[in-house]
Amino acid sequence: MNVVIVGGGAGGMTAASRIKALKPDWDVKVFEATSFVSHAPCGIPYAIEFDFPSDELMYYRPEVFVRERGIDLHMNSRVVEVKKGKVAVDESGKVNEYEWDRLLIATGASPKIPDVDGKDLENIFTADLPPDADVIRRAAKSAENVAVIGAGYVGIEMAEAFSHLGKSVTVIEMADLPLPNFDPEIGEIVKKEMEGRVNLRLGERLEAFEGRDRVERVVTDRNEYRADIVVVGVGVKPNTELAEQIGVRIGVTGAIEVNRRMETSVENVYAAGDVVETEHMITGRKVWIPLAPPGNRMGYVAGVNMAGGDIEFPGVLGTQITKFHDLQIGKTGLTEREARAEGFDVKTAFITANTKVHYYPGATKTFIKAVKDKETNRILGAQIAGYEMVAMRTNVFAVAIQAQFTTKDLFFSDLVYAPPFTPIWDPVTVSARVLRF
Amino acid sequence: MNVVIVGGGAGGMTAASRIKALKPDWDVKVFEATSFVSHAPCGIPYAIEFDFPSDELMYYRPEVFVRERGIDLHMNSRVVEVKKGKVAVDESGKVNEYEWDRLLIATGASPKIPDVDGKDLENIFTADLPPDADVIRRAAKSAENVAVIGAGYVGIEMAEAFSHLGKSVTVIEMADLPLPNFDPEIGEIVKKEMEGRVNLRLGERLEAFEGRDRVERVVTDRNEYRADIVVVGVGVKPNTELAEQIGVRIGVTGAIEVNRRMETSVENVYAAGDVVETEHMITGRKVWIPLAPPGNRMGYVAGVNMAGGDIEFPGVLGTQITKFHDLQIGKTGLTEREARAEGFDVKTAFITANTKVHYYPGATKTFIKAVKDKETNRILGAQIAGYEMVAMRTNVFAVAIQAQFTTKDLFFSDLVYAPPFTPIWDPVTVSARVLRF
């Protein structure tokens, strides 16, 4: 059997590894357009903050896949055409054709660039592929003023990196609060934390970049800001072009539609990772929330099924976490706004709690916004901000929501307690009590 | 209605507070034998380590219960007799009688003292009530050599406290490894960590304490050790005496038997906290695992039901966590040994993983021992050791086990990921994969 995988990111390489583990005799080819494999953009802000080279961002080196796992890995090889049973690949200027019995499209997502004047000036960057980390790091060395467009995850992490490096950072966000996919209670906390470190401009719309060759200024509908470099983090779009060539159905979200086995609408064509939409575990609706861990698991599922197995990907909750310096911010399930938009009759709780028993040194405040469905008492979502243990509490909610816990189930969860770690009534438990049973 | 609560610890005060919240007109009397309320022994090692006075160990001050919550709180009042409809209370030497319509027994548990020669010598302590913290702190000031009997939770935490204070600490444990209620893979890790800080004597049986008035030496079956003070942490026993007076049935574990509403075998007599046994969420069997968070929740359940409500306590998983200096150690559900003893056909995984993405500074190793039932693939338990995020991963397992997750459910849990927090494949997910679906 000939397997072709388009894209050597985390999803593609996970699938390739799985197929070779299950079917060692099969020919598994991976075509990766860059000189990196097994990479993810999530590390780019940290390569800048801690100043390490981009090849560190690969989870595994190419040798691991080639020598240890027996994958026929083609780097710097861009698939230019996908046809029934064949792909055409541009390898160093020469186009070669390869045959496939089963195909995986794992082409990922790419950053959106706002269509404004000056968008092609030098020193305007996005955080996409590992080499972006190197060019941004190099450009940052001589930069004094940095503008970050967007205060979502990428914007916040980039703002941390540059303020850590002592740059003067302006963050420009269209919405009224940073992290606009959170409810405002949490956004306000993030806002306060950011305002202490960067020039945070909320409710401002980007209108243009200005400069001679390089960017010099960012112009908004309200103001203009000096900028020696600009990083744009205003969202991503799925790279569906190759899939469309072969007639794969695109879903309501604009990403590739797949079933739970990661099969597309075209026979023997699978898709996985940031390029596909999936089911939301709560609503059952199709969503496109491109994030690394589900992308990897989708690759795993695609690999098992492509190798003749049978396993289903159950969907996502959109669990995510980020930080801005000391403030950690996590989210799982639906926000109040999202839950209302889905038609739920919701009750919410917003609590402030200490992270430890009062007498143990070093307790800090943590904030939880939790959402339940009034009709069933099911937990629908939680957003947490604080200075420690945000990952822990977000994960407790994530597993509880996956398990369809009611507030009462969550109240009676048998969570850890010891004075160095938590208060006796964990804030999660408190939020369940405040939401009522 | 007259409610009498015997014992002003966490369980008793939670119940009292709940009853007054639901029935503000009822007369709720709490009799507490000491001058402390709302206390728990779990803080005692930290009062010693960080040198703060014992009244800090109260979660709420007595005033909160009396003024804000309207509870008729009698401190230094020891209930000496429980009869049908009445209790006799020794209050500063005078015995008063009080009537009750509903009674809650929340008398907790007390440390066991090994019955060996010299056990009544001075400077031999247990960690029970807040004042114990003060006497140990005072005695420790002039002590050079400290012996800790037992390497369970209390022993480990006391050993940390004294080694933190620069004392020469000997820990004596009968079993072959510290934390004998963990599987040996985790015990070995704890052993290594302890051996770097204290004189850890495993497989030695305490035979006697020796000294003139004060303890001077601890004698075991193999050796003897100098000790200016001794702290004994060899387990606790439930304080069931008052319950037995009124004919309350004692369960198979030796603690008070209650149903899920926290009702004892005697009408209108409830019991909660460390003095009762409860159901294990996995096996449905009665267990006695006295720990603070379930004790509090039992108090909550007892309070609601005593006030005319209807709520059930679903049981426990025995989730717990402790630390020895930098090493954190957590546990939930069944160990391999426990699972086999319960008749499960088990498969286990023991994995070592990094706590963060390889390129993010400060990653450390973490160790997970996970146990599943081969027949159903259900997760039965996990034990985790490591230098960070042990609470998080123990809680993920705790909620997953409560939800009766299979290894596949856990593998597909949508957990947080970002480079500063976790690797893309969380070690919990990896352990689920190693256990197979």
Instruction: Give me the sign of the Cα torsion angle A113, A117, A122, A123.
Output: negative
pLDDT tens-digit readout, B64-97? 999 999 999 999 999 999 999 999 999 999 999 9
Using the Cβ of B416 and the Cβ atoms of chain A, whether some distance falls under 8 Å is answered with: yes
Judge contact between A230 and A218, C-beta under 8 A: yes
| pLDDT interval class at B41 (50, 70, 90) | confident
- Angstrom CA distances, A271 to A5, A58, A301, stand at 9, 22, 10
Using the Cβ of B419 and the Cβ atoms of chain A, whether some distance falls under 8 Å is answered with: yes
Mean pLDDT for A199-225 is: 98
Q: Is residue A34 exposed (0-12), middle (13-18) or buried (19+ Cβ within 10 Å)? A: middle
**A38 vs A73 pLDDT, higher one:** A73
Helices marked H in B264-389: 292-306, 336-341
Quote the pLDDT of residue B369.
98
Interface contact flag, A297 B421, Cβ < 8 Å:
no
| pLDDT interval class at B60 (50, 70, 90) | confident
Residue numbers of A between 289 and 348 with CB closer than 8 Å to B: 291-294, 296-297, 311, 313-314, 316-323, 328, 330, 332
Quote the pLDDT of residue A39.
84
Chain B, nearest residue to A359 by Cα: B56
What is chain A's mean pLDDT, rounded? 97
Residue of A320, A402, A422 with shortest CB distance to B416:
A320
Closest CA to A73 of A29, A40, A7: A29
Mean pLDDT for B210-216 is: 97
pLDDT tens-digit readout, B405-437? 999 999 999 999 999 999 999 999 999 999 999
- Nearest-CA distance from A419 to chain B in Å? 6
Report phi then psi at A402, rounded to 5.
Answer: -55, -35
| pLDDT interval class at A58 (50, 70, 90) | confident
Parallel, antiparallel or unpaired: strands A286-287 and A278-279: antiparallel
Quote the pLDDT of residue A59.
84
Look at residue B168 and tell me whether its pLDDT is greater than 80: yes
Report phi then psi at A305, rounded to 5.
Answer: -70, -40
B42 is catalytic: yes
Share of chain A above pLDDT 90, in %: 96
Give A-chain residues touching B324 at CB under 8 angstroms.
none
Chain mean position to CA B389: 20
Read off the tokens for A277: 């939409």
Judge contact between A395 and A382, C-beta under 8 A: no
Mean pLDDT for B99-108 is: 98
Question: Which residues of A are identified as catalytic?
Answer: 42
| Residue B409, SS3 per DSSP | helix
Chain B, nearest residue to A14 by Cα: B425
Using the Cβ of A60 and the Cβ atoms of chain B, whether some distance falls under 8 Å is answered with: no
| pLDDT interval class at B58 (50, 70, 90) | confident
Give A-chain residues touching B425 at CB under 8 angstroms.
293, 296
**Which domains are seen in chain A, by residue range?**
2-42+57-109+237-306 (3.50.50.60), 113-232 (3.50.50.60), 326-435 (3.30.390.30)
Q: Read out DSSP for B109-127?
A: EEE-----BTTTSBTEEE-
Share of chain B above pLDDT 90, in %: 96
Look at residue A178 and tell me whether its pLDDT is greater than 90: yes
| pLDDT interval class at B40 (50, 70, 90) | confident
Read off the tokens for B93: 């030497």
Look at residue A99 and tell me whether its pLDDT is greater than 80: yes
Using the Cβ of A160 and the Cβ atoms of chain B, whether some distance falls under 8 Å is answered with: no
The DSSP call for residue A406 is B
Quote the pLDDT of residue A40.
78
Q: Which of B22, B34, B35, B42 is catalytic?
A: B42
Out of A37-51, A397-411, B110-124, B223-237, pick the least confident.
Answer: A37-51
Using the Cβ of B385 and the Cβ atoms of chain A, whether some distance falls under 8 Å is answered with: no
Report phi then psi at B181, rounded to 5.
Answer: -85, 5
The contacts of residue B285 (CB under 8 Å, 6+ apart) are: B279, B342
Interface contact flag, B319 A416, Cβ < 8 Å:
yes
The DSSP call for residue A387 is S
pLDDT tens-digit readout, A367-387? 999 999 999 999 999 999 999
Share of chain B above pLDDT 70, in %: 100
